[in-house]
Amino acid sequence: MSIHPLAGKPAPRSLLTDVPRLVASYYALKPDPAERAERVSFGTSGHRGTSVNRSFNEDHIAAICQAVADHRASRGVTGPLFLGADTHALSEPALLTAVEVLAANGVRVVVSSAAAAPEGARAWRPPRPGALPALLPVPTPVVSHAVVSHNAGRRGDPGREGRADGIVITPSHNPPEDGGFKYNPPHGGPADTDETAAIQEAANRHLEDGLKAVRRMPVHRAFQGGSVELRDLVTPYVEDLAEVVDLGRVAAAGLRLGVDPLGGAALPYLAPLAERYGLDLEVISDAVDPAFSFMRVDHDGKIRMDCSSRYAMAGLVAAKDGYDVAFGNDPDADRHGIVTRAGGLLNPNHYLCVAARYLFRHRPDWPSSAGLGKTVVTTALLDRVAAAAGREVTEVPVGFKWFVPGLSAGRLGLAGEESAGATLLRRDGGTWTTDKDGIVMGLLAAEIAAVTGEDPAELYRELTTELGEPAYARVDAPADAAQRDVLKRLRPEDVRATMLAGERVLAVLDRAPGNGAPLGGIKVVVESGWFAARPSGTEDVYKVYAESFAGEEHLARLLSEAQELVAAAFDAAGVAS
């Protein structure tokens, strides 16, 4: 992978998004549903796009919200809908559109009020006179926590008020010009494929019909008419954090913590968190700017708020020696980037292994049946960690939605992805969230350091001395639409190789071992490693993930021969380059 000359450096003005043009395009440009790229399309993480390309515009959000309103009514979901948005430029306009449509459909919408929040939360957006209330950004895990808590009867009465669900308007760590929309049904996690397919189909029908069946009311009437509840969403989440992380031990250890929210939705939560638990926590940057002009440039020359990228996180990494533990979050705070003095920015796979070992040793109230959830492209070192702890591993396809049943039932103590998304159970074994929680994973790193007295990076080195040290990589290779379709439909019988990187092929998988769901690609396993290949849903590439416990040279062979194997499959299908 080539590295852009600007990678890791402050973003020059030439890279900044034209925010006024972006927001104007949201309202002014109309998508053409006859064009595939301009239709509603729910991928692994909801619908995403950008207004200037007519892929994320007012009409999309109006159509999707009408589809959500009808969908939840058909499922008997009559409780509150928790509506959150991050700090991307298109998120607040989309939130206001959502309020107009949902309120007109009689949905009781709950939003995060700056006026109702603790003083420390509203410092960067104080309430001011105006027709619209001041709203705070809401992290993805806060919406999931609110839905799960309501429906479990921890807060609110689901019997009297009905089951709750949620929407988060965010493109996650994507560039500033992007927008995104995610629906979380009453289980609190990402909607499954059947639900998103139904919502997508209905939304596109509304686009094709010119939005004639979409109900709307003026946004000021929605706020004034009692359809929208202005609530403090900060305090319930912050108060419950001690139920999932031992913050008392963190405070008692006197650890100095640094947090960089990367201009995102975690920011309003940090001051109340530090005050509530007496933490020595410094917010490294409180800048909020829809152009994200304060960011360091990512590896490819783009501005991207990726807290797992050492280039995007270069500012925090440079400050690492000033803190015992530091962490960053992406704009919707569902991802984490852990930074320590000994390790700098920890590889997400490495941190997951440290977290898993720690949790299985320090959560005595978890049931013995609480195992580990991982995706098929996450490190196999986790399997060894789980085996040493006597815990089962549930391996699922890429996508956090596959973890929801296990998290809801308490069967997964920790569920995580190689892309720096994870969550865990409450300390008593109850469900915390069914979506990723980057804030909790950052605080967990502090707990680990406080309880063990060791740097998480050192703990990883100790772990690999005992269980083996893997080499891991991901590469992207060119693939047109026809080739990506072939890869998505590839079956074990289509792979005729019996040897890979000098070792006998032990298994060829097209379904996840943990739940039997299709991988949308293949995974090939040998004695010392594995590779997985899956097509991108948004780019003309396919992704190859590989890992070897036999060293870098063996890893290079796995990657090379994996691409040869995929090329042979393309050739056999008549779609070779």
Q: Annotated active-site positions, please?
A: 172
Specify the 3-state DSSP secondary structure of 55: coil
Closest by CA position to 479, among listed 519, 533, 535, 524: 535
Question: 463 vs 339, 348, 385, 450, CA distance in Å?
Answer: 18, 15, 8, 18
Question: Strands (DSSP E) along 325-470, which ranges?
Answer: 325-329, 336-340, 344-345, 371-375, 393-396, 412-416, 422-424
Is the torsion defined by CA of 302, 304, 306, 312 positive or negative? positive
Cβ atoms within 10 Å, residue 397 = 22
Q: Which residues, 6 or more positions from 516, have their beta carbon under 8 angstroms from its beta carbon?
A: none
Collapsing DSSP to helix, strand or coil, 372 comes out as: strand
Measured between alpha carbons, how far is residue 372 from residues 32, 213, 357, 392, 438 in Å? 44, 45, 10, 6, 18
Q: Which residue's structure tokens are 């700056």?
A: 114
Sorted by sequence, the CB contacts under 8 Å of residue 274 that are 6+ apart come out as: 280, 281
The SS3 assignment for 216 reads coil
CA distances to 58, 136, 269, 282 from 259, rounded to whole Å, are 34, 19, 11, 6
Q: How far is CA 14 from the centre of its chain?
A: 28
**Dist CA 356 CA 413 (whole Å):** 9
- Residue 369 corresponds to which tokens in the numbers above? 């049946």
- Cβ neighbours of residue 571 under 8 Å, at least 6 residues apart? none
Collapsing DSSP states into helix, strand and coil, what is residue 266?
coil
What is the Cα–Cα distance from 435 to 429, expressed in whole angstroms?
16
